[in-house]
Amino acid sequence: MSERRLLLVNGPNLNLLGTREPEIYGSHTLDDVERLATEVAFELGFDVRAVQSNHEGVLLDAIHAARLDCAGIVINPGGLTHTSIVLRDALSGVALPVAEVHISDVTKREPFRHHSYVADVAVVHVIGEGVAGYGTAVRRLIDVIVGRADG
């Protein structure tokens, strides 16, 4: 396992960042998200492997593979947050610390968005900070990994 690598996972529809509902998600793109996470991680001595897919199985495979060479996972599951028990089980099964991040404040949106299947396996939760929340999630997860914060 690499003690200095994070897996960054972005779920369905996050490839549309910058064009999809900019009044909710802003104008930053997925490339901006990946660049920010990579820069923050690099400043703290970590690297990032990023994956985005609209296919749940691709995300599950990436999470499973992370147990071999990553120290933690930063994930925005998109809509799978509210629907996917198998995604939650994959995160739990790899036994890596997880940071859950959401661009919008899902607690102030439609009622079906209020429940997260990921919440109970994540040690870090960053919700409603926009794209900047990815930087916050990376910093806080690295603090957990290196022992500067409880997880």
Asked if residue 51 belongs to a domain, the reply is yes
Residue 112's pLDDT band (boundaries 50, 70, 90)? confident
Residue 2 has pLDDT above 60, yes or no: no
| Model pLDDT, residue 36 | 98
- Put simply, whether the predicted model's pTM sits higher than 0.95 gets the answer no
Q: pLDDT tens digits, residue range 125-149? A: 999 999 999 999 999 999 999 998 7
- In angstroms, the CA 38 to CA 53 distance is 18
Output the CA angle 117-29-38, nearest 5 degrees: 75
Domain tally, the chain: 1
The catalytic residues are 25, 102
Query: Over the stretch 31-89, which tens digit does the pLDDT of each residue have?
Result: 999 999 999 999 999 999 999 999 999 999 999 999 999 999 999 999 999 899 999 99
DSSP for 18-74, please give it. TTS-HHHH-S--HHHHHHHHHHHHHHTT-EEEEEE-S-HHHHHHHHHHHHHH-SEEE
The whole-number pLDDT of residue 32 equals 96
The answer to the question of residue 90 being in a domain is yes
Instruction: Give the residue numbers spanning the domain of 67.
Output: 5-146
Q: Is 104 annotated as a binding residue?
A: yes
- Is 89 annotated to bind a ligand? Reply is yes
User: Is 71 within the bounds of a domain?
Assistant: yes
Residue 97: inside a domain: yes
- 151 within domain boundaries: no
Evaluate whether residue 37 is within a structural domain.
yes
Is 127 labelled a binding residue? no
Q: Answer whether residue 24 is part of any domain.
A: yes
CATH number of 9's domain: 3.40.50.9100
Q: Chain-wide mean pLDDT for the chain?
A: 92
76 is in an annotated binding site: yes
- 105 lies in some domain: yes
